[in-house]
Amino acid sequence: MLIDCSTCAMQHTAHCEGCIVHALMEPTPRRGDALVVDADEERALRELAKAGLIPEIRMKPRRRTA
């Protein structure tokens, strides 16, 4: 999974501020920064979020207009 803030529909919203990416890339993700996690790490992050221990991954890719 590639989490790239510049391609996220939630960028610059309240959801963006509550995303796990902010917690992992403190102080603030810079434009062009991306976080890469493998399938096992993604599963672990989702389980920790379900348990309320960390923020959720709120990445939602923007829809491309053709």
Question: Quick one: pLDDT at residue 56?
Answer: 80
Q: Is 62 exposed, middle or buried (0-12, 13-18, 19+ CB in 10 A)?
A: exposed
User: Do 26 and 16 touch, CB atoms closer than 8 A?
Assistant: no
Question: Quick one: pLDDT at residue 25?
Answer: 64
**d(Cα 57, Cα 44) in Å, to the nearest integer?**
11
Question: Quick one: pLDDT at residue 66?
Answer: 60
What is the mean pLDDT of each successive set of 10 residues along the chain, which is 66 residues long?
A: 76 77 61 74 88 80 70
Question: Quick one: pLDDT at residue 21?
Answer: 73
Question: Quick one: pLDDT at residue 12?
Answer: 82
Report H helices in the chain.
Answer: 14-17, 20-24, 39-50
Question: Quick one: pLDDT at residue 33?
Answer: 66
First to last CA, the chain: 24
